Structure 1
Amino acid sequence: MTDHETFELGDIVLQSGLTLRGAQLAYKTYGTLNAAKDNVIVFPTWYSANHKDNEWMIGEDTAIDPSKYFIIIPNALGNGVSTSPSNTSEPYDRARFPNVTVYDNVQLQHRLVTEKFGIQKIRLVTGWSMGAAQSFQWGASFPDMVERIVPFMGAARCSRHNFVFLEGVKAALTADGAFKDGWYDEPPRRGLRAAARVYAGWGFSQTFYRKKLDLATIERPFGGKPADVPWGYSSLEDFLVYFWEGFFLPKDANDLLAMIWTWQNADISADPQYGGDFDKALAGIKADAIVIPGSSDLYFPPADSEYEVAHMPNAELRVCETDWGHFGGDPRGTSPDIKMIDDALREILAR
């Protein structure tokens, strides 16, 4: 990919104690940083995504308006654009890539924001799924810097149930003989296709499948803005192959596994600041917050968000009523319910 910039991080010591040498953080910006440097939105990427996957929520007809705000999309380590198993040289390439935490990612993003741009206040951090985890982490790690957060369809730490789901995805990827313990010469396509089938049963809800929404023609959000994902499949199998297998096959298996580890070990309290005290970490988030779970999300149910909001001093719970499960928050322009997220962003930015 060439439509982004790269921030040279140098040699970075991760929470694991291992050092990534010559690490790079890929990012893209939209809009103009004003003179006061107080119009900044940080919009982190989600699991396996890159900056382009967030672009559908950026526009003059949306809350994340580049004519008003300076928007930074940092690519998470492991996503194949920033430093990842697939683009790192020996000896930390491929299966030897070190474990990276959400805390690591946010610390590096903080360096980008402060060292590259000289920014001291962030108006908003928002994101979907793993992007939501990074939003929570920003609020906990830098409470005096981050003014607002809107994490949607995500969590401040990975639940045990969510952890188990991801074990299934890992098992599917690694069971393919072509995987060769991560030292494959050709992509383990059978494993990637199997992982897609595992994911398909979790990404969307039971109601989504019962109503056959995969076969339906959907109304696009934001006045019909086109999405990069076609809709209205000819059959369930067509949906499983074209949408789900098509989603996984272009991705690198080691990158996917690295980001699964990051996801499974997400916990805003697992850092020196809070020492594993989850309630203390939630209480440490000073930002004005709207936390948005999806009503039918199988990964991040509203009950988990209720607990988080109850322990945050300035947070509101706002449930997105959706039949689309976790993908009710998909910022690629897939979900018709993303407009609810946009409305919440517009509201919090205005107050």
Structure 2
Amino acid sequence: MSVDYEIFELGDFRLQGGATLRGCRLAYKTFGTLNAAKDNAIVYPTWYSAQHDANEWLIGAGRALDPARQFIVIPNMLGNGLSSSPSNMPEPYDGPRFPQVTAYDNVSAQHRLVAERFGIERIRLVTGWSMGALQTFHWGAMYPDMVERIAPFCGSAKCSRHNFVFLEGVKAALTADAAFADGWYTAKPAKGLRAMARVYAGWGFSQAFYREELDLKALGYSSLEDFLIAFWEGFFLPKDANNLLAMLWTWQHGDISANEIYHGDFRKTLGSIKAKAYVMPGQTDLYFPPEDSQFEVAHMPNATYVPVPSIWGHFAGGPGTNPKDVEFIDGKLKELLKS
């Protein structure tokens, strides 16, 4: 089977939590060519449950992320099934024994990729949706002198308490399936994955999205039940349950200040981000509300609050679901890159 990505070997990769992923692998895909000055690099991390191909909707000729001008690196998050994950690690760190990985760990690995593999010292832009936004904030905070611009969209610098609770519901639905067997399943826990999808369906899109029946009128599903099965259950059923839980833990414990650099001082961490920033929440996002972004921007020295005017909820930010939102985000990225 041909693959459209490359592997960066991290060797024995020590995690924040104390475990070591031996033979750790970071999967990545690049677009465009790194110029001689090595100053046209853009890092574009993946989001919850996704792999690099789910990011490609924002890349193309004439877009802000144009391979003719930029060198775009999409690193796959640890736990997503391509980079080191519960589904591909050998014993004893396989399946539910896969260690807890933080966003800090992910961005440390990505930094090694761009610095060691490509010799990049300055990054023109880091951007990403959802958990990609969490990693974007980490880039700005962990490498303030390296990153020139950040554009996190529909995501936050720290998992809020409300967000944590939403994810507890998702996790409970998945793990309640008897077939899950504490993570040592031999067959796919399909009942749990379908239940997880149903929980998620109430959060991914806004109340206004459902009120306006955009699942039918814009996305073309034949009924609400058709949308819940074909879109939502179809979205989660192909994915590995332990991978989903590993990334969910990373999400729940997302916090740019939870490290030896900042010792939990969230405001100080936001204040340390030197990059010119466009912080772009979805106006109707149910799990990353605009108020959280306003707080972040108020404590960042070089940030602009740019809400995405959309009733598509969290999905205003991706993965390319609503063309109008795609154009808005792309336009703002062009504006930021020109500044």
Q: Is the 8 A contact 2:171 2:196 kept in 1?
A: yes
Structure 2 CA distance for aligned equivalents of residues 94 and 332 of structure 1: 31
The residue type equivalent to 2:53 in the other structure is K
CA pair 114-339 structure 1, distance change in 2 beyond 3 A: same
Deviation at 1:331, TM superposition (A): 3.0
Cα displacement string for residues 305-337 of structure 1 (whole angstroms, at most 9, x for unaligned residues): 000000000000011111100001013444531
Q: Which runs of 4+ in 1 moved over 6 A?
A: none
The residue type equivalent to 2:262 in the other structure is Y
**Residue 66 of structure 2 is aligned to residue 65 of structure 1:** yes
Give the match for residue 217 of structure 2: 216
Structure 1 CA distance for aligned equivalents of residues 308 and 56 of structure 2: 21
Q: Is the 8 A contact 1:123 1:147 kept in 2?
A: yes
The residue type equivalent to 1:344 in the other structure is K
Give the match for residue 220 of structure 1: none
SS of the equivalent of 2:112 reads: helix
Q: Summarize the alignment of residues 111-260 of structure 1 with structure 2, pairs less than 5 Å apart.
A: 111-217=112-218, 231-260=219-248
Cα displacement string for residues 116-152 of structure 1 (whole angstroms, at most 9, x for unaligned residues): 0000000000000000000000000000000000000
Structure 1 CA distance for aligned equivalents of residues 320 and 251 of structure 2: 20
SS of the equivalent of 2:217 reads: coil
Unaligned stretches of 5+ residues in structure 1: 218-230
Q: Is the 8 A contact 1:57 1:333 kept in 2?
A: no
Structure 2 CA distance for aligned equivalents of residues 81 and 249 of structure 1: 17
**Which of 284, 291, 297 is 1:309 aligned to?**
297
SS of the equivalent of 1:337 reads: helix
Deviation at 1:261, TM superposition (A): 0.2
Q: Is the 8 A contact 2:320 2:326 kept in 1?
A: no
Structure 2 CA distance for aligned equivalents of residues 144 and 122 of structure 1: 9
Deviation at 1:83, TM superposition (A): 0.4
Provide the identity percentage.
68
Q: Is the 8 A contact 1:324 1:335 kept in 2?
A: no
The residue type equivalent to 2:187 in the other structure is E
Deviation at 1:61, TM superposition (A): 2.4
TM score, norm. by length of structure 2: 0.99
Give the match for residue 110 of structure 1: 111
**Residue 26 of structure 2 is aligned to residue 25 of structure 1:** yes
Q: Is the 8 A contact 1:329 1:335 kept in 2?
A: no
Structure 1 CA distance for aligned equivalents of residues 327 and 131 of structure 2: 20
Structure 2 CA distance for aligned equivalents of residues 176 and 56 of structure 1: 34
SS of the equivalent of 2:191 reads: helix
CA pair 148-164 structure 1, distance change in 2 beyond 3 A: same
Give the match for residue 228 of structure 1: none
Q: Summarize the alignment of residues 32-47 of structure 1 with structure 2, pairs less than 5 Å apart.
A: 32-47=33-48
The residue type equivalent to 2:177 in the other structure is D
TM score, norm. by length of structure 1: 0.95
Cα displacement string for residues 99-125 of structure 1 (whole angstroms, at most 9, x for unaligned residues): 000000000000000000000000000
Give the match for residue 286 of structure 1: 274
The residue type equivalent to 2:261 in the other structure is Q
Q: Is the 8 A contact 1:15 1:100 kept in 2?
A: yes
Unaligned stretches of 5+ residues in structure 2: none
The residue type equivalent to 1:341 in the other structure is I
Deviation at 1:62, TM superposition (A): 1.1
Deviation at 1:216, TM superposition (A): 1.1
Cα displacement string for residues 21-62 of structure 1 (whole angstroms, at most 9, x for unaligned residues): 000000000000000000000000000101000001100121
